[in-house]
Structure 1
């Protein structure tokens, strides 16, 4: 290339350097690119690496990047020397770099495993020593995407809108060991009479909603998750609570169940008849938390009030304060079984 410099006076700066462009054959360009790739691919001489050196008193010396190559060069020199004096070649099939350097010797291995930093050799199987890594010594896991900020948050618990009901700080009502006949609860006497069997069904149902809040409450259950517990003694045959919710057509149950599963929401549905179903998942009463039992103390019944059907939970026997309310779900028999955890004496082991 020809460079033309224009010189000016000392008070002025040097101006532009013009470059003459010449033709470059394609073959020359390809050779240049190949040399550049080879330069970047081959390890630089300035890079730190381990060198194995073997020397002897007679002036022999050799260096190599691996133990095998170093001893291979020694063996070749020995074979050449034996061939020069017409000796048979030496059998060196069992010679390897580890044994010749003494690395595989038990005593050497015993001491090498104690060296500083040996605990960071994660792929090595220690024979005589075991090292425990602390949290500071452990290296962070490599992220599949390459950046921790792009990884999803996986330690968060599934969303549960009723998780506060399972709090250990919400104490369940204390179990009343006294007989029901002896426990004369004057405060709730009128409420028991309003939902007892002495009054017509419609009148009992109208009083049910306001008295159900005083009679039952949701707490942590021994059977499963949350459960409904008695806050006062309940008589046999008394209305306990209505299974309230959104009344939908039976054909929509599968669609809603799939939607709730996709959102990680528990599904609470109760069939009224062949056409209508009560969906208490998003809009419902505390009756949705009543657990199943193979030996229940309640039962469900569909009643008609003002030409509308309602699902009401009745007490099948006298229930004491602090006792959990249960009823039989009566699931149809299926191949995929659901394990029962009611722990009653008559437990059928499966809900279906």
Structure 2
């Protein structure tokens, strides 16, 4: 009964969002009703599997959302991040941003298996990944949005693209903004989408440089609250403990809200890439303050930016393929 009620809430939220739009791209339009006739239960199936996974492990919501980011920033939203190494394919899972940290692949496998049983050879892994990201956000208490659909799957991957195109935790603000602009995203998208760090964890190795300077005298980054830095150092030593996990938002770590921005204003952004939103660009700093003050505007901007990101060079029409198994190409 609880699952039924949750799905009814999900459906009712969908009815509040506009259904009559499409996103244009070079291969044709993406539109929300793409599978209405070919796989009408698609969104119900995706929601059910994601809801079960997040109920078992709340962290999975952040993991699935992150997979979508790391997919779209490489070769567009084409599910290339899901491919294992085989033949001429070198998996993006081996890249620095993904190695030992990208997760949620088994959940996508489970969704794909269920969808294939319902409507074989119809729904792309890229669309499944996009829907899973939206559902993860919603299940964590975040905003809802209508997902334009109709993507197809890539038949190759790009290890170099994964290494070079995904913003890194220690990048400067300008480097991060450049990576966003190369994908057709702007500064509002950057600050809003960074709000995904309101849920999930990060490894010690991703922010250690903020705790210990190059000379090794143990002084923290001067844009990091010193009491917070001291707390972090207890489990993130100068050497060792690379995989130790820390919540990105220590106030409400499993809830999708705007405390992430409030933490940044208190100089308690965990990653350098979080804190630079306040310290290295005046326009970004204004957005941080806006989102910290107004969760409704943050939710609106985040939803809009997720739709925009989901439209980064998707494959449509006859491009790519519809993979039968998300981890490998069909041929």
Q: TM-score range by the shorter chain?
A: under 0.3
The structure whose residues are more often strand, as a share, is 1
Q: Which has the larger radius of gyration?
A: 1
Q: Which has the higher contact order (CA 8 A, sep 6+)?
A: 2
- The TM-score with structure 1 as length reference comes to 0.19
- Give the helix-richer structure, 1 or 2: 2
Q: TM-score, normalised to structure 2's length?
A: 0.20
